[in-house]
Structure 1
């Protein structure tokens, strides 16, 4: 090929190259917010201008085609997400493919509509029986500050409060079971943008420890004064909390809720043996806890006087007998008849004689009655002596009459 021919071809190439300017990419809007639409325009010009000239445009992202060659000089992306960020370029060529030019890469950064939410919990720490407030905090892009958001709260990845416009979730009268992992999710009303917070562990702290029931003395017998104590520990910063205590035996109420953590009773094996529990609640009734069961069996025995005294006091509480109305006092004195009755009950019920047959009971009871008569006679011995002499004189007189009649 001659030099003239080479120069001619070079001149033709230069002329063709000069027909197109190097394209540039323009992006709208600025900035591009996630969830919105993005338009890329590939700008070039013909020299000289040719209105009827046809050009083909191809768009690339990270060197890969995102829109095939076509006559449109624009590329539109709808509902863009953060992952649509990247390096974009375009290429322009004539329909015959003789002239082709490519733009420089343009970095396009999609801006987040809202920040990743975080959970804030108040108060801190959260104490059982109180109220807890969770707030889902996020920020919108200034150019979209009027965007409506919906918030959902989760506990252990299960919905705790369904989607709504409120960014607050309140829990009233929290209990230990409310402890767990909480998170929240924020989304636009059209569902295009959604963000979820990291899980936050919330531990509800005890207001007071589970109650422990103890008995004093540890080994009780008939007639002993037994004291039950219901003990717990309050949080250091809640020492002024008012607590109420109740006591139960075999599920039945012994003492309703009062401010005293003690229950006192004179132990009688037959009446007071069983399974005991106590219960503690706050004065607001928001927190209530029960102790483990405590079995109290007790031992038979003790002085007859103590046991009988206890039985008579129990009987006095159960009826309105005026003779037993003084049983609440510490110096309660039994009448003779009451003493004999109590002593008989003690021996037959509490001292191991519960299996006596009717003849043994009659004998035992008769012995008590004879003893009572002898005691009565001794106390009234002067009158008894005169009465006995009178009886003997009368008997002798009747005997003599009888003898004379026989003779």
Structure 2
């Protein structure tokens, strides 16, 4: 049982305890908050009733020391995580692996009628309200529940009032009234409970979409992160995530991972991105901010045209290959091959590639001349130096014959 006053310690022991607490506080500054849970779950009880408070740390199954505070004063340092009390006040706890919990305000009442509400309720959950009469006023009839002065529900007999899947709009001031049969005689009197301010809490805030960069270069990886946080009291809630671009989903279905990776991003991937987080069991779904991603394209540079055979010397009837390459440049690159003095190109190819080939399968004497290639990716267009293609002499031309030797 929790004592009526703070635990008194000898000065030396108190000093040692303060040092321990100081170290624990520094360690807890980066730890998750502990959570206090009540059994029964109500924050208002009648005088003489008892409540069990349990402190849940980051590792509830792990044995260790639990510090309990009442009205901001250290009360007990226990090796167990549960205490029992009949006293009202503000209770907090912390453990070796968890930071100081949020406060739980326990109200002990001597009123004839009370409204009992849970310590915490989150959007998407069922809210249960309980109107109760004191022992000698157990027989309560015509029970009415109110929110902000307006009737929410009415029961002929004493009954809990359950509201499934509450939203933030259900926050407000609640109370109840009931007609009580006094001292088992035929004498009825109507009583009203005190008002209780109830705050329906947000299960998780709208997520924030973060990116490794909003102006990536083509071909580089980009990571999208859909970030939100559950409260300590609902840390076991399962969230799923989905990612979108320009109004369409880019990751099919709901995923447990809040990370979406694009291994290589391209110019056409530019657009407006956002994500959504969803608590599946509570059916709570929230959308993030929009992030504009503009993919940068690297201009083309360092163009070079080579031939096979090397040097552009080829024998009539042989194959001639023009190899056009660039040192850098991103996106779809269009390569085209040209002969000096001709308006039309010999051919062109568009690929995610820094090198492409164009082949003349069997050259003729008339194919001799100067050739070059160009490359374009929509940012810039550059041309290579000219390569002179010449025909090597054949034996039958040196013999002076006007016709080729027989095949």
Return the TM-score normalized by structure 2.
0.49
Larger radius of gyration, structure 1 or 2? 1
Q: Identify, as 1 or 2, the structure richer in strand.
A: 2
